[in-house]
Structure 1
Protein backbone atom coordinates (compact mmCIF):
# COMPACT_ATOMS: atom_id res chain seq x y z
CA UNK A 1 0.00 0.00 0.00
CA UNK A 2 1.31 3.45 -0.92
CA UNK A 3 0.47 6.81 0.65
CA UNK A 4 -2.01 7.65 -2.11
CA UNK A 5 -4.11 4.66 -1.09
CA UNK A 6 -4.76 6.18 2.34
CA UNK A 7 -7.78 8.42 3.03
CA UNK A 8 -6.86 12.05 2.36
CA UNK A 9 -7.06 13.03 6.03
CA UNK A 10 -4.55 10.31 6.95
CA UNK A 11 -1.98 11.09 4.29
CA UNK A 12 1.20 12.50 5.81
CA UNK A 13 1.79 14.90 2.93
CA UNK A 14 -1.61 16.53 3.26
CA UNK A 15 -1.26 16.64 7.04
CA UNK A 16 2.16 18.26 6.72
CA UNK A 17 0.92 20.89 4.28
CA UNK A 18 -2.10 21.70 6.41
CA UNK A 19 -0.51 21.65 9.88
CA UNK A 20 3.25 21.84 9.35
CA UNK A 21 5.99 19.17 9.63
CA UNK A 22 5.99 19.25 13.45
CA UNK A 23 2.50 17.75 13.41
CA UNK A 24 3.75 14.47 11.93
CA UNK A 25 4.94 11.53 13.97
CA UNK A 26 8.37 10.07 13.20
CA UNK A 27 6.82 7.19 11.26
CA UNK A 28 4.75 9.59 9.15
CA UNK A 29 7.81 11.66 8.23
CA UNK A 30 9.69 8.52 7.29
CA UNK A 31 6.74 7.24 5.28
CA UNK A 32 6.90 10.40 3.16
CA UNK A 33 10.43 9.42 2.14
CA UNK A 34 9.61 5.75 1.57
CA UNK A 35 6.41 6.52 -0.40
CA UNK A 36 5.47 2.87 -0.89
CA UNK A 37 5.42 -0.21 1.31
CA UNK A 38 5.82 -3.85 0.40
CA UNK A 39 3.40 -6.64 -0.40
CA UNK A 40 1.40 -7.19 2.75
CA UNK A 41 2.86 -4.19 4.57
CA UNK A 42 1.65 -0.63 4.12
CA UNK A 43 4.13 2.19 3.99
CA UNK A 44 3.24 3.51 7.45
CA UNK A 45 3.66 0.05 8.95
CA UNK A 46 6.96 -0.31 7.11
CA UNK A 47 8.16 3.04 8.45
CA UNK A 48 7.22 2.06 12.00
CA UNK A 49 8.96 -1.30 11.65
CA UNK A 50 12.07 0.45 10.36
CA UNK A 51 12.14 2.78 13.37
CA UNK A 52 11.67 -0.13 15.76
CA UNK A 53 14.44 -2.12 14.12
CA UNK A 54 16.99 0.67 14.39
CA UNK A 55 15.83 2.12 17.69
CA UNK A 56 14.06 5.24 16.47
CA UNK A 57 15.45 8.15 14.51
CA UNK A 58 18.78 8.27 16.43
CA UNK A 59 19.48 4.65 15.51
CA UNK A 60 18.35 5.15 11.94
CA UNK A 61 20.72 8.10 11.65
CA UNK A 62 23.55 5.64 12.36
CA UNK A 63 22.44 3.04 9.83
CA UNK A 64 24.88 2.18 7.06
CA UNK A 65 23.95 1.48 3.45
CA UNK A 66 24.73 -2.19 4.05
CA UNK A 67 22.34 -2.27 7.03
CA UNK A 68 19.60 -0.53 5.10
CA UNK A 69 19.99 -3.02 2.28
CA UNK A 70 18.96 -5.87 4.59
CA UNK A 71 15.56 -4.26 5.25
CA UNK A 72 12.74 -5.72 3.20
CA UNK A 73 11.54 -3.04 0.83
CA UNK A 74 14.85 -1.14 0.83
CA UNK A 75 16.72 -3.53 -1.41
CA UNK A 76 16.40 -1.20 -4.39
CA UNK A 77 19.26 1.23 -4.87
CA UNK A 78 17.11 4.31 -5.51
CA UNK A 79 15.04 4.25 -2.32
CA UNK A 80 18.01 3.29 -0.15
CA UNK A 81 20.20 6.00 -1.65
CA UNK A 82 17.50 8.65 -1.17
CA UNK A 83 17.03 7.72 2.48
CA UNK A 84 20.78 7.67 3.14
CA UNK A 85 21.14 11.08 1.47
CA UNK A 86 18.41 12.65 3.62
CA UNK A 87 19.97 11.27 6.80
CA UNK A 88 23.39 12.61 5.82
CA UNK A 89 21.91 16.03 5.00
CA UNK A 90 20.42 16.17 8.50
CA UNK A 91 23.74 15.30 10.13
CA UNK A 92 25.70 17.81 8.06
CA UNK A 93 23.14 20.55 8.65
CA UNK A 94 23.46 20.21 12.42
CA UNK A 95 27.27 20.14 12.25
CA UNK A 96 27.32 23.26 10.06
CA UNK A 97 25.13 25.16 12.52
CA UNK A 98 27.55 24.34 15.33
CA UNK A 99 30.52 25.36 13.16
CA UNK A 100 29.05 28.79 12.48
CA UNK A 101 28.44 29.93 16.06
CA UNK A 102 29.72 29.18 19.56
CA UNK A 103 28.37 25.77 20.50
CA UNK A 104 27.09 26.90 23.88
CA UNK A 105 24.83 29.53 22.39
CA UNK A 106 22.48 26.58 21.91
CA UNK A 107 23.04 23.78 24.45
CA UNK A 108 19.89 22.03 23.22
CA UNK A 109 21.28 21.87 19.67
CA UNK A 110 24.53 20.36 20.96
CA UNK A 111 22.61 17.69 22.85
CA UNK A 112 20.46 16.92 19.80
CA UNK A 113 23.56 16.64 17.65
CA UNK A 114 25.42 14.20 19.90
CA UNK A 115 22.27 12.18 20.54
CA UNK A 116 21.73 11.72 16.81
CA UNK A 117 25.39 10.82 16.35
CA UNK A 118 25.78 8.36 19.23
CA UNK A 119 22.41 7.71 20.84
CA UNK A 120 21.46 4.73 18.72
CA UNK A 121 24.75 2.85 18.78
CA UNK A 122 24.74 -0.68 20.29
CA UNK A 123 28.33 -0.36 21.51
CA UNK A 124 30.09 2.20 23.66
CA UNK A 125 31.95 4.98 21.87
CA UNK A 126 34.10 7.78 23.25
CA UNK A 127 34.20 10.85 21.01
CA UNK A 128 35.30 14.46 21.20
CA UNK A 129 33.87 17.66 19.85
CA UNK A 130 36.94 19.74 18.96
CA UNK A 131 36.38 23.50 19.15
CA UNK A 132 38.37 26.50 17.96
CA UNK A 133 39.21 29.58 20.03
CA UNK A 134 35.71 30.99 19.44
CA UNK A 135 34.18 27.68 20.52
CA UNK A 136 32.96 26.93 17.02
CA UNK A 137 32.89 23.24 16.08
CA UNK A 138 35.93 21.99 14.18
CA UNK A 139 34.52 18.48 14.12
CA UNK A 140 33.25 15.56 16.15
CA UNK A 141 35.48 12.50 16.00
CA UNK A 142 35.14 9.03 17.43
CA UNK A 143 38.35 8.33 19.29
CA UNK A 144 37.77 4.99 20.99
CA UNK A 145 35.28 2.17 20.68
CA UNK A 146 34.54 -0.36 23.38
CA UNK A 147 32.13 -3.09 24.38
CA UNK A 148 28.63 -2.65 25.72
CA UNK A 149 30.04 -1.72 29.11
CA UNK A 150 33.33 0.13 28.67
CA UNK A 151 35.74 1.83 26.31
CA UNK A 152 39.46 2.21 26.86
CA UNK A 153 40.48 5.85 26.57
CA UNK A 154 44.11 6.95 26.20
CA UNK A 155 44.75 10.58 27.25
CA UNK A 156 47.91 10.75 25.13
CA UNK A 157 45.93 10.07 21.95
CA UNK A 158 43.34 12.69 22.91
CA UNK A 159 46.06 15.30 23.46
CA UNK A 160 47.78 14.43 20.16
CA UNK A 161 44.54 14.84 18.21
CA UNK A 162 43.63 18.11 19.90
CA UNK A 163 47.05 19.53 19.01
CA UNK A 164 46.82 18.24 15.44
CA UNK A 165 43.51 20.08 14.97
CA UNK A 166 44.76 23.19 16.77
CA UNK A 167 41.77 22.93 19.10
CA UNK A 168 41.41 25.45 21.92
CA UNK A 169 38.72 23.50 23.75
CA UNK A 170 36.90 20.19 23.64
CA UNK A 171 33.65 18.61 24.73
CA UNK A 172 33.99 14.99 25.79
CA UNK A 173 31.17 12.75 24.59
CA UNK A 174 30.38 9.12 25.22
CA UNK A 175 27.27 6.98 25.02
CA UNK A 176 25.65 4.48 27.36
CA UNK A 177 24.08 1.76 25.21
CA UNK A 178 22.14 0.62 28.28
CA UNK A 179 19.84 3.60 27.78
CA UNK A 180 20.73 5.17 31.15
CA UNK A 181 22.60 8.45 30.79
CA UNK A 182 23.59 8.81 34.46
CA UNK A 183 27.35 9.41 34.81
CA UNK A 184 29.30 6.78 36.71
CA UNK A 185 32.17 7.35 39.13
CA UNK A 186 34.48 6.00 36.42
CA UNK A 187 33.14 8.68 34.05
CA UNK A 188 33.96 11.36 36.61
CA UNK A 189 37.51 10.06 37.11
CA UNK A 190 38.08 9.88 33.35
CA UNK A 191 36.90 13.48 32.99
CA UNK A 192 39.35 14.62 35.66
CA UNK A 193 42.25 12.73 34.05
CA UNK A 194 41.56 14.09 30.58
CA UNK A 195 41.05 17.63 31.89
CA UNK A 196 44.43 17.48 33.63
CA UNK A 197 46.19 16.11 30.54
CA UNK A 198 44.66 18.65 28.18
CA UNK A 199 45.30 21.53 30.57
CA UNK A 200 49.04 20.92 30.11
CA UNK A 201 48.71 21.90 26.44
CA UNK A 202 46.29 24.77 27.12
CA UNK A 203 43.16 22.99 25.86
CA UNK A 204 40.05 23.39 28.01
CA UNK A 205 37.45 20.71 28.65
CA UNK A 206 34.17 22.61 28.53
CA UNK A 207 31.82 19.72 29.19
CA UNK A 208 31.37 15.96 29.20
CA UNK A 209 28.12 14.72 27.68
CA UNK A 210 26.79 11.26 28.49
CA UNK A 211 24.44 10.16 25.73
CA UNK A 212 21.57 7.69 25.84
CA UNK A 213 18.95 7.09 23.18
CA UNK A 214 16.48 9.64 24.51
CA UNK A 215 18.49 11.71 26.96
CA UNK A 216 21.81 13.53 27.37
CA UNK A 217 23.40 14.44 30.70
CA UNK A 218 25.83 17.38 30.92
CA UNK A 219 28.63 17.35 33.48
CA UNK A 220 28.73 21.15 33.35
CA UNK A 221 25.04 21.42 34.14
CA UNK A 222 25.48 18.96 37.01
CA UNK A 223 28.41 20.93 38.44
CA UNK A 224 30.76 18.00 37.92
CA UNK A 225 33.50 19.92 36.11
Structure 2
Protein backbone atom coordinates (compact mmCIF):
# COMPACT_ATOMS: atom_id res chain seq x y z
CA UNK A 1 0.00 0.00 0.00
CA UNK A 2 1.34 3.43 -0.95
CA UNK A 3 0.87 6.78 0.77
CA UNK A 4 -1.95 7.77 -1.57
CA UNK A 5 -3.90 4.68 -0.55
CA UNK A 6 -3.93 5.69 3.11
CA UNK A 7 -6.90 7.61 4.57
CA UNK A 8 -6.36 11.35 4.18
CA UNK A 9 -5.99 11.84 7.95
CA UNK A 10 -3.13 9.33 8.01
CA UNK A 11 -1.14 10.65 5.09
CA UNK A 12 2.21 11.99 6.36
CA UNK A 13 2.62 14.49 3.52
CA UNK A 14 -0.69 16.21 4.20
CA UNK A 15 0.03 16.21 7.93
CA UNK A 16 3.46 17.73 7.35
CA UNK A 17 2.09 20.46 5.11
CA UNK A 18 -0.63 21.30 7.61
CA UNK A 19 1.30 21.06 10.87
CA UNK A 20 5.00 21.08 10.00
CA UNK A 21 7.61 18.27 10.11
CA UNK A 22 7.93 18.35 13.90
CA UNK A 23 4.35 17.07 14.19
CA UNK A 24 5.23 13.80 12.44
CA UNK A 25 6.39 10.66 14.21
CA UNK A 26 9.66 9.04 13.11
CA UNK A 27 7.82 6.36 11.15
CA UNK A 28 5.74 8.98 9.33
CA UNK A 29 8.84 10.92 8.26
CA UNK A 30 10.49 7.74 7.06
CA UNK A 31 7.31 6.75 5.21
CA UNK A 32 7.59 9.94 3.17
CA UNK A 33 10.93 8.70 1.87
CA UNK A 34 9.81 5.12 1.28
CA UNK A 35 6.50 6.13 -0.39
CA UNK A 36 5.28 2.54 -0.83
CA UNK A 37 5.03 -0.50 1.38
CA UNK A 38 5.39 -4.14 0.50
CA UNK A 39 3.11 -7.12 0.24
CA UNK A 40 1.28 -7.54 3.52
CA UNK A 41 2.28 -4.19 5.05
CA UNK A 42 1.53 -0.59 4.22
CA UNK A 43 4.23 2.03 4.02
CA UNK A 44 3.79 3.15 7.64
CA UNK A 45 4.14 -0.44 8.84
CA UNK A 46 7.24 -0.88 6.70
CA UNK A 47 8.73 2.32 8.11
CA UNK A 48 8.05 1.25 11.70
CA UNK A 49 9.45 -2.23 11.07
CA UNK A 50 12.62 -0.70 9.64
CA UNK A 51 13.02 1.59 12.65
CA UNK A 52 12.44 -1.30 15.05
CA UNK A 53 15.01 -3.39 13.22
CA UNK A 54 17.59 -0.60 13.35
CA UNK A 55 16.97 0.52 16.91
CA UNK A 56 15.33 3.82 15.98
CA UNK A 57 16.33 6.78 13.86
CA UNK A 58 19.91 6.95 15.19
CA UNK A 59 20.44 3.30 14.45
CA UNK A 60 18.99 3.61 10.96
CA UNK A 61 21.19 6.60 10.14
CA UNK A 62 24.24 4.62 11.22
CA UNK A 63 23.28 1.48 9.28
CA UNK A 64 25.56 0.73 6.30
CA UNK A 65 23.78 0.44 2.97
CA UNK A 66 24.92 -3.16 2.61
CA UNK A 67 23.12 -4.07 5.82
CA UNK A 68 19.80 -3.05 4.26
CA UNK A 69 20.08 -5.54 1.42
CA UNK A 70 17.54 -8.31 1.73
CA UNK A 71 15.15 -6.28 3.90
CA UNK A 72 11.64 -7.00 2.68
CA UNK A 73 10.19 -3.97 0.93
CA UNK A 74 13.55 -2.23 0.35
CA UNK A 75 14.63 -2.49 -3.25
CA UNK A 76 17.72 -0.85 -4.77
CA UNK A 77 15.97 2.50 -5.33
CA UNK A 78 14.78 2.82 -1.72
CA UNK A 79 18.17 1.72 -0.35
CA UNK A 80 19.84 4.34 -2.54
CA UNK A 81 17.51 7.07 -1.26
CA UNK A 82 18.11 6.09 2.38
CA UNK A 83 21.87 6.01 1.78
CA UNK A 84 21.67 9.50 0.27
CA UNK A 85 19.79 10.83 3.31
CA UNK A 86 22.32 9.22 5.65
CA UNK A 87 25.23 10.75 3.75
CA UNK A 88 23.53 14.16 3.81
CA UNK A 89 23.19 13.86 7.59
CA UNK A 90 26.91 13.06 7.90
CA UNK A 91 27.85 16.01 5.72
CA UNK A 92 25.54 18.38 7.56
CA UNK A 93 27.08 17.44 10.91
CA UNK A 94 30.59 17.72 9.49
CA UNK A 95 29.76 21.19 8.14
CA UNK A 96 28.58 22.23 11.60
CA UNK A 97 31.85 21.06 13.13
CA UNK A 98 33.88 22.90 10.50
CA UNK A 99 32.03 26.16 11.04
CA UNK A 100 31.99 26.33 14.85
CA UNK A 101 34.32 25.34 17.69
CA UNK A 102 33.51 21.79 18.73
CA UNK A 103 32.91 22.79 22.36
CA UNK A 104 29.91 24.82 21.15
CA UNK A 105 28.23 21.69 19.79
CA UNK A 106 29.33 18.61 21.77
CA UNK A 107 26.09 16.85 20.83
CA UNK A 108 26.94 17.28 17.14
CA UNK A 109 30.34 15.66 17.75
CA UNK A 110 28.69 12.64 19.35
CA UNK A 111 26.02 12.42 16.64
CA UNK A 112 28.67 12.62 13.95
CA UNK A 113 30.73 9.85 15.54
CA UNK A 114 27.62 7.73 15.97
CA UNK A 115 26.92 8.02 12.25
CA UNK A 116 30.49 7.17 11.37
CA UNK A 117 31.30 4.37 13.80
CA UNK A 118 28.41 2.79 15.64
CA UNK A 119 27.44 0.14 13.09
CA UNK A 120 30.95 -1.05 12.14
CA UNK A 121 31.58 -4.73 12.76
CA UNK A 122 35.30 -4.25 13.42
CA UNK A 123 36.92 -1.98 15.96
CA UNK A 124 38.51 1.12 14.47
CA UNK A 125 40.39 4.08 15.92
CA UNK A 126 39.62 7.49 14.45
CA UNK A 127 40.65 11.07 15.11
CA UNK A 128 38.97 14.43 14.61
CA UNK A 129 41.77 16.87 13.86
CA UNK A 130 40.98 20.46 14.87
CA UNK A 131 42.45 23.84 14.01
CA UNK A 132 43.53 26.53 16.46
CA UNK A 133 39.89 27.62 16.82
CA UNK A 134 38.87 24.02 17.52
CA UNK A 135 37.00 23.63 14.26
CA UNK A 136 37.14 20.39 12.29
CA UNK A 137 40.01 20.06 9.84
CA UNK A 138 39.60 16.37 9.07
CA UNK A 139 38.09 13.16 10.35
CA UNK A 140 40.26 10.14 9.67
CA UNK A 141 40.23 6.49 10.63
CA UNK A 142 43.87 5.71 11.28
CA UNK A 143 43.76 2.13 12.54
CA UNK A 144 41.50 -0.86 12.01
CA UNK A 145 41.44 -4.03 14.04
CA UNK A 146 39.49 -7.13 14.89
CA UNK A 147 36.10 -7.62 16.49
CA UNK A 148 37.47 -6.69 19.89
CA UNK A 149 40.66 -4.66 19.62
CA UNK A 150 42.79 -2.35 17.53
CA UNK A 151 46.50 -1.62 17.70
CA UNK A 152 47.14 2.13 17.90
CA UNK A 153 50.57 3.70 17.39
CA UNK A 154 50.98 7.15 18.98
CA UNK A 155 53.81 8.08 16.60
CA UNK A 156 51.49 7.81 13.61
CA UNK A 157 48.81 9.92 15.31
CA UNK A 158 51.43 12.58 16.04
CA UNK A 159 52.72 12.51 12.47
CA UNK A 160 49.23 12.98 11.06
CA UNK A 161 48.46 15.84 13.46
CA UNK A 162 51.63 17.61 12.35
CA UNK A 163 50.86 17.01 8.67
CA UNK A 164 47.43 18.62 9.09
CA UNK A 165 48.82 21.43 11.30
CA UNK A 166 46.27 20.48 13.95
CA UNK A 167 46.17 22.28 17.28
CA UNK A 168 43.89 19.80 19.03
CA UNK A 169 42.28 16.41 18.52
CA UNK A 170 39.31 14.37 19.65
CA UNK A 171 40.06 10.66 19.75
CA UNK A 172 37.35 8.14 19.01
CA UNK A 173 36.88 4.42 18.69
CA UNK A 174 33.98 2.02 18.55
CA UNK A 175 33.06 -1.07 20.53
CA UNK A 176 31.40 -3.53 18.12
CA UNK A 177 29.89 -5.30 21.14
CA UNK A 178 27.56 -2.30 21.42
CA UNK A 179 28.70 -1.38 24.94
CA UNK A 180 30.44 1.98 25.17
CA UNK A 181 32.02 1.57 28.61
CA UNK A 182 35.78 2.37 28.41
CA UNK A 183 38.24 -0.35 29.35
CA UNK A 184 41.44 0.02 31.33
CA UNK A 185 43.30 -0.40 28.05
CA UNK A 186 41.32 2.53 26.63
CA UNK A 187 42.35 4.67 29.58
CA UNK A 188 46.02 3.69 29.22
CA UNK A 189 45.96 4.41 25.48
CA UNK A 190 44.40 7.82 26.09
CA UNK A 191 47.13 8.77 28.56
CA UNK A 192 49.83 7.60 26.15
CA UNK A 193 48.39 9.59 23.25
CA UNK A 194 47.88 12.67 25.40
CA UNK A 195 51.53 12.60 26.48
CA UNK A 196 52.83 11.99 22.96
CA UNK A 197 50.73 14.76 21.42
CA UNK A 198 51.64 17.21 24.19
CA UNK A 199 55.25 16.98 23.02
CA UNK A 200 54.23 18.70 19.78
CA UNK A 201 51.80 21.09 21.47
CA UNK A 202 48.62 19.32 20.34
CA UNK A 203 45.86 19.04 22.94
CA UNK A 204 43.61 16.03 23.42
CA UNK A 205 40.17 17.49 24.09
CA UNK A 206 38.32 14.22 24.49
CA UNK A 207 38.24 10.52 23.75
CA UNK A 208 34.80 9.27 22.80
CA UNK A 209 33.86 5.60 22.85
CA UNK A 210 30.99 4.74 20.53
CA UNK A 211 28.61 1.88 21.17
CA UNK A 212 25.25 0.97 19.71
CA UNK A 213 23.15 4.09 20.18
CA UNK A 214 25.34 5.40 23.01
CA UNK A 215 28.63 7.20 23.59
CA UNK A 216 30.93 7.75 26.54
CA UNK A 217 33.07 10.88 26.78
CA UNK A 218 36.36 10.69 28.69
CA UNK A 219 36.18 14.45 29.28
CA UNK A 220 32.72 14.20 30.83
CA UNK A 221 33.88 11.30 33.00
CA UNK A 222 36.92 13.26 34.20
CA UNK A 223 39.28 10.68 32.70
CA UNK A 224 41.51 13.08 30.74
Mapping 1:16-27, distance limit 5 Å: 16-27=16-27
SS of alignment partner, residue 141 of structure 2 = strand
1:42 aligns with 2:42: yes
SS of alignment partner, residue 85 of structure 2 = helix
SS of alignment partner, residue 213 of structure 1 = coil
SS of alignment partner, residue 48 of structure 1 = helix
Please tell me whether the aligned partners of residues 59 and 213 of structure 2 are also in contact (alpha carbons under 8 angstroms).
no
Corresponding residue of 2:7: 7
Please tell me whether the aligned partners of residues 58 and 119 of structure 1 are also in contact (alpha carbons under 8 angstroms).
no
Kindly state the Cα deviation for residue 64 of structure 1 after the two structures are TM-superposed: 4.4
Kindly state the Cα deviation for residue 52 of structure 1 after the two structures are TM-superposed: 4.0
| TM-score, scaled relative to structure 2 | 0.89
1:184 aligns with 2:183: yes
Kindly state the Cα deviation for residue 59 of structure 1 after the two structures are TM-superposed: 4.0
Kindly state the Cα deviation for residue 66 of structure 1 after the two structures are TM-superposed: 4.3
Please tell me whether the aligned partners of residues 34 and 47 of structure 1 are also in contact (alpha carbons under 8 angstroms).
yes
Q: Give the direction of change, closer, same or farther, for the CA distance of 1:123–1:14 in structure 2 (3 Å limit).
A: farther
Give the aligned CA root-mean-square deviation in angstroms. 2.1
Please tell me whether the aligned partners of residues 64 and 119 of structure 2 are also in contact (alpha carbons under 8 angstroms).
no
Please tell me whether the aligned partners of residues 59 and 121 of structure 1 are also in contact (alpha carbons under 8 angstroms).
no
CA distance in 2, matches of 1:159, 1:34: 45
Output one character per residue of 1:43-72: Cα deviation in whole Å (capped at 9) or x when no partner: 222223333444443443344454444434
Corresponding residue of 1:201: 200
Structure 2 unaligned residues grouped into runs of 5+: none
Corresponding residue of 1:147: 146
CA distance in 2, matches of 1:114, 1:213: 11
SS of alignment partner, residue 110 of structure 1 = helix
The count of residues paired between Structure 1 and Structure 2 equals 224
Corresponding residue of 2:104: 105
Please tell me whether the aligned partners of residues 58 and 117 of structure 1 are also in contact (alpha carbons under 8 angstroms).
no
Structure 1 unaligned residues grouped into runs of 5+: none
Output one character per residue of 1:120-142: Cα deviation in whole Å (capped at 9) or x when no partner: 32332211111011100012111
CA distance in 1, matches of 2:185, 2:145: 15
| TM-score, scaled relative to structure 1 | 0.89
Kindly state the Cα deviation for residue 216 of structure 1 after the two structures are TM-superposed: 1.7
